Amino acid sequence: MILHQKLKILKFINVLLMIVVIPLLLIYVLLIIPEYSACSDTMFEGEKGIDFWGDEIDCNAESQAFSEALFQMFSVIIIIIVSFLILINLFYFSLKKGLLQSGS
């Protein structure tokens, strides 16, 4: 496979991952983090929490455990995808730099 094809494939994978990560980040920031932070400091069973948007959230044990699990799962998924994007971009720019140096 020649260098131009590798660059096109890496660019395609980069765009595809960006299409996946942007909606995940929006869900994470706008829905999951506010609910998790509203119930993270509750002391007693059945307490109510208020999220960033002013909505009241029931912080019973089941919803609190579910929001914590969802927060942790989305955190790991987003960290993995963003790390993969960084590696792809580093590899892409190193290949592009090699192409430019060999072409001149």
User: Cα–Cα distance between 13 and 2 in angstroms, integer?
Assistant: 17
In-domain check, residue 10: no
In-domain check, residue 42: yes
pLDDT digits (tens, 9 = 90+) for 15-72: 999 999 999 999 999 988 888 888 777 667 778 888 888 888 888 877 788 888 999 9
Residue 72's domain spans which residues? 21-82
Beta-carbon neighbour count of residue 64 at 10 Å? 21
Banded pLDDT at 104 (limits 50, 70, 90): low
In-domain check, residue 50: yes
Count of domains forming the chain? 1
In-domain check, residue 14: no
In-domain check, residue 88: no
User: What is the pTM (predicted TM-score) of this model?
Assistant: 0.80
In-domain check, residue 12: no
In-domain check, residue 94: no
In-domain check, residue 93: no
What is residue 52's predicted lDDT score, i.e. its pLDDT?
A: 82
Beta strands in 1-104 (DSSP E): 47-50, 56-59
Contact 14, 92 (CB under 8 A): yes
